[in-house]
Structure 1
Amino acid sequence: MLSLKSVSKRYKTGDLALKEVTLEIPEGQVMALIGPSGAGKSTLIRCINRLVDPTEGVITLDGEVISSLSARGLRKARRRMGMIFQEYALVERLTVMENVLSGRLGYVGFWRSWFRKYPAADVQEAFRLLDRVGLKHMADKRADELSGGQRQRVGIARALIQDPALLLVDEPTASLDPKTSRQIMRLICELCEERHLSAIINIHDVLLAQMFAKRVVGLQLGEIVYDGPPDGLGPDVLTQIYGEEDWEATISKVEDEDENDEEAPEPVASA
């Protein structure tokens, strides 16, 4: 379980990015993190994996206090936090297989990683994960030959080969078309369910958050202003998170999409 207690982050400029955020994410729960730009969503994720150090508060993962770990302890803890990036963060000149195996860098020695001499078990697991995300046939392709949806699938496999306890997902659909976005969100949620993984998905698309997440947390100016089920995001709540707008159209669209999804589920292996 991930726990945040009164986590705040104030930058050197004086800007308060997070204000006393308290959250608990149980094992296996997929949580969508929504809010306008500048609300603190990315800062929250970066505080959890300590790419940014919180100014105050305590962050624990399965009882280990992440927020006070030494550099060495943090390196070990990050093995258990898989990261999926908006811009994929792949090495373009490397193959799909090599990019997936790079998720094992925290476990193998420097020279083995330098010469790409990964254990046979790691290679077998990489093939298994690529098969699961629909890309086994592309293992030898270079990353720069892939579409956006395929690149994101490689990023998902790379995160999972770490054998994490938690997935931190930063805008996984921002660069994708609507159909591929739905496929990627569905795939992430399915994998979390299969592996009993917790996940925090930072996402701008309210519709996708409502369709796929079991829990939605809304941030406004670094504070939690909503924490509840997707169907609780009514016009008043969305106005509190984002400001005045005609939210009835968004809510109606969610209901229509839910009905269409029940009638005609989409495959996930073609993106």
Structure 2
Amino acid sequence: MLTIQSLSKRYNTGDKALTQVNIQIPKGQVVALIGPSGAGKSTLIRCVNRLVEPTEGQVFLGDTQITKLNTRQLRSARRRMGMIFQDYALIDRLSVMENVLSGYLGYTGFWRSFLRRYPQDVIVEAFRLLERVGLESFIDKRADELSGGQRQRVGIARALLQNPQILLVDEPTASLDPKTSRQIMRLIRELCAERQLSAIINIHDVHLAQQFADRIIGLRAGEVVFDGQPDALDTEMLTLIYGEEDWNPQIDADEEENAKHKAPDQMYMDSKAALV
């Protein structure tokens, strides 16, 4: 379980990015963070693993208080938090397999990683993950030869190689077309279900958030203004989060899109349940 208590972030300029944020995320829950640009979504995710140092408050992952750890302890704790970046954060000159194996760096150390000395079971797991994300035929390709969706799949496999307890996902669909965006969000959702992983996903696409998240948290000016089920996100709540706008056309479009994809998605879930 991830617990965020009274978390605040104020920059040296005096600007407040987060104000008294309180969130609790149980094991296996997929949470979408939505809100306008500058609302504090990315800052919140990065405060969890202390890529950004919070000004006040506490973050717990299970019984571990992340905000009290020293540098060495934090390095160890970050193994339990898989990060998936908007810009993929791949090393272009390295192969797909080498980028995935870099996710084990927190366990093996820099020099063993630099010399490609990974345990055999880790290599086997990397192969298995690449197969799971649909990239088994791209193992030897350089990262800079991949499409955006393929690069994001490499980033997902790399994060999972850490064997994390939670995924921190920063705008995974920002640079992707609508079809690929759906595929990536569905993949993250499925992997979380398979591994009983929690996830916090910073995402701008409200429709994707409603379709693939168990819970939606809306931020505005660094404060939580909505925390609830996807179907509770009506015009009033959208206005509270984003400000005045005619949301009805968007909601109508979302309902039409949901109806279009409901049957295939439900068929997939039913077939998956039948195999269990």
TM-score by length of 1: 0.97
Kept in 2, the 8 Å contact 1:79–1:106? The answer is yes
SS state at 1:79 partner: helix
Tell me how large the CA RMSD over aligned residues is.
1.1
> How far apart, CA to CA, are the structure 2 residues paired with 1:110 and 1:189?
31
> How far apart, CA to CA, are the structure 2 residues paired with 1:40 and 1:20?
12
Aligned equivalent of 2:236:
236
SS state at 1:259 partner: helix
Aligned equivalent of 1:31:
31
Cα deviation for residue 263 of structure 1 reads 2.8
Aligned equivalent of 1:164:
164
1:177 partnered with 2:177: yes
> How far apart, CA to CA, are the structure 2 residues paired with 1:200 and 1:262?
24
Q: Which runs of 4+ in 1 moved over 3 A?
A: 264-267
Select between 250-259 and 192-201 the one with higher mean Cα deviation. 250-259
Larger helix percent = 2
Kept in 2, the 8 Å contact 1:47–1:54? The answer is yes
Cα deviation for residue 207 of structure 1 reads 0.8
Aligned equivalent of 2:261:
261
1:187-266 matched pairs, under 5 angstroms: 187-265=187-265
Select between 182-191 and 258-267 the one with higher mean Cα deviation. 258-267
Provide Cα deviations, 1:230-252, integer angstroms capped at 9, x if missing partner. Answer: 11111110001001111111211
SS state at 1:134 partner: coil
> How far apart, CA to CA, are the structure 1 residues paired with 2:183 and 2:260?
14
Cα deviation for residue 111 of structure 1 reads 2.3
Q: What is the percentage of aligned positions where both structures have the same residue? A: 67
Provide Cα deviations, 1:182-219, integer angstroms capped at 9, x if missing partner. Answer: 00000000000000000000001111101110100000
1:84 partnered with 2:84: yes
Aligned equivalent of 1:19:
19
Provide Cα deviations, 1:69-120, integer angstroms capped at 9, x if missing partner. Answer: 1000000000000000111110000000000000000001332111111110
Kept in 2, the 8 Å contact 1:210–1:254? The answer is no
Cα deviation for residue 53 of structure 1 reads 1.1
**AA paired with 1:10?**
R
Aligned equivalent of 2:132:
132
Aligned length: 267
Aligned equivalent of 1:46:
46
Specify every segment of 5 or more residues in structure 1 that has no aligned partner in the other structure, as ranges. none
> How far apart, CA to CA, are the structure 2 residues paired with 1:23 and 1:264?
33
SS state at 1:13 partner: coil
**AA paired with 2:179?**
K
> How far apart, CA to CA, are the structure 1 residues paired with 2:208 and 2:159?
21
> How far apart, CA to CA, are the structure 1 residues paired with 2:229 and 2:251?
14
**AA paired with 1:24?**
Q
> How far apart, CA to CA, are the structure 1 residues paired with 2:188 and 2:109?
29
SS state at 2:39 partner: coil
SS state at 2:107 partner: coil
> How far apart, CA to CA, are the structure 2 residues paired with 1:139 and 1:65?
37
Specify every segment of 5 or more residues in structure 2 that has no aligned partner in the other structure, as ranges. 269-276
> How far apart, CA to CA, are the structure 1 residues paired with 2:184 and 2:110?
32
Provide Cα deviations, 1:132-188, integer angstroms capped at 9, x if missing partner. Answer: 000011101110111110000000000000000010000000000000000000000
TM-score by length of 2: 0.95
Cα deviation for residue 7 of structure 1 reads 0.5
